[in-house]
Amino acid sequence: MAEENTAVSEQQSGEAPTGGGRRKMVILGGLMLGVMLAEGLVVFILVKSFAAPPPAAAEASDAAGLAHGEGHKEPQEVEVEIGKFHVQNEKSQRLIAYDFEVYVLVSDKNVDKLKDTLTRKAATIRDHVARIVRSTDPQRFAEPDFTTLRELLKHELGQIVGDQEVILQVLIPAVTRVTED
């Protein structure tokens, strides 16, 4: 009867028997832990599958955008008039005069330097051009592209300007030969 009294008193107090109750609690706790782990695993898999790919490892590479040389204005070639000339050639048996114009081709960054030289040394330039024409063999004026005359003028004008690289090309659009008797 004493045993019955203890069982009845335990039931009335709401306490579970110690042997079976603890086992249920461990099972219930393990079940709760398993459900939480399963939920975490599902969330991890969903996040992993819908997330953006991981960024690539940082490496030093060429910067995107302008490549070397892009974005810079290419130097433009500009024609500058040196002058119109009427020069006599004294190398032939007869007196021959030539009427011609001389232009030079320069890059746009050297235009100001050349124009400054043209204003400061106009007489020097006219003298050197006349000297070249007077001393040139008349056969050189028979060349279809005036190669020799162009080279001589380019060299002289380069010396007057002070830099042979400033003048890219000498242009002689036309030469008119005037025979004077």
Query: What pLDDT was estimated at residue 108?
Result: 84
CATH class of domain segment(s) 77-180: alpha beta
Query: What pLDDT was estimated at residue 37?
Result: 93
Query: What pLDDT was estimated at residue 134?
Result: 83
Q: What is the CA radius of gyration of the chain?
A: 50
Query: What pLDDT was estimated at residue 62?
Result: 60
Per DSSP, helices labelled H in the chain are 2-13, 18-50, 111-120, 122-135, 147-161
Whole-structure pTM value: 0.55
> Is the Cβ–Cβ distance between 82 and 157 less than 8 Å?
yes
Q: In degrees rounded to 5, what are phi and psi of residue 168?
A: -80, -40
Question: Nearest-CA neighbor of 129 among 78, 77, 93, 89?
Answer: 89
Q: Tell me: the pLDDT tens digits for 5-41? A: 555 555 555 555 556 789 999 999 999 999 999 999 9
CB proximity list for 17: less than 8 A, separation 6 or greater: 10
Task: Give dist(CA 158, CA 167) in Å, integer.
Answer: 6
* Each residue's pLDDT expressed in tens, for the chain with a length of 181 residues: 455 555 555 555 555 555 678 999 999 999 999 999 999 999 988 888 887 766 666 666 665 665 665 666 777 888 888 888 888 877 777 778 888 888 988 888 888 888 888 889 889 889 988 888 888 887 877 788 888 888 988 888 888 888 888 888 888 887 777 776 5
Domain locations in the chain as residue ranges: 2-50, 77-180
> Is the Cβ–Cβ distance between 132 and 152 less than 8 Å?
yes
